[in-house]
Amino acid sequence: MARNNGRLRRTVAEILFHEGKMTRAAVAERLHEMGLFREVPSESSLAAIISKNAQIVSCGHEKVELSNGSVVKNMVFDIDRELIQSEEDLRYTLPYSSMSNADKAKSVRCEQCKQMRLMKEGWSICLPCSRRGV
């Protein structure tokens, strides 16, 4: 289950990276279309996955008109594009718990934030530390 969650978190980040900002419902729809997961997460577990993922930022609301004429505001999310500028950056910014087993085995502790991160040869601090200057 935990492993599956890591893959789910990575997939959600990939969807946002490739397709740009969207609402939680749109993310759920894309996950369903991809058919990679036996169960598409509920709105609330997707909300937890998104809010706990430091790779994802919220960027305002989208107004959606319901069939009864009332208008609701849905939050819109995107990948943190200051932090993640290329597809490979997705792997270098993952928390340890979301990494694939192969990346877990290669990860090292960042001197600055003390997190286990996948790093390139020669890096002394991780990508989030060097981009965010945390």
Binding positions for Zn ion, rule: CB under 5 A: 110, 112-113, 126, 129
Closest distance to Zn ion from the beta carbon of 64 (Å): 38
Rank residues 9 and 117 by Cβ distance to Zn ion and give the closer one: 117
Tokens for 117, please give them. 């991160």
Tokens for 56, please give them. 């994802």
Q: Which of 7, 5, 6, 19 is nearest to 79 (CA)?
A: 19
Rank residues 34 and 54 by Cβ distance to Zn ion and give the closer one: 54
Return the H-helix or E-strand segment holding 80: none
Concatenate the DSSP letters of all residues of 92-113 into one string.
HT--GGGS-HHHHHH-EE-TTT
Rank residues 76 and 129 by Cβ distance to Zn ion and give the closer one: 129
Rank residues 50 and 110 by Cβ distance to Zn ion and give the closer one: 110
Closest distance to Zn ion from the beta carbon of 121 (Å): 16
Closest distance to Zn ion from the beta carbon of 127 (Å): 8
Closest distance to Zn ion from the beta carbon of 132 (Å): 9
Report phi then psi at 63, rounded to 5: -85, 130
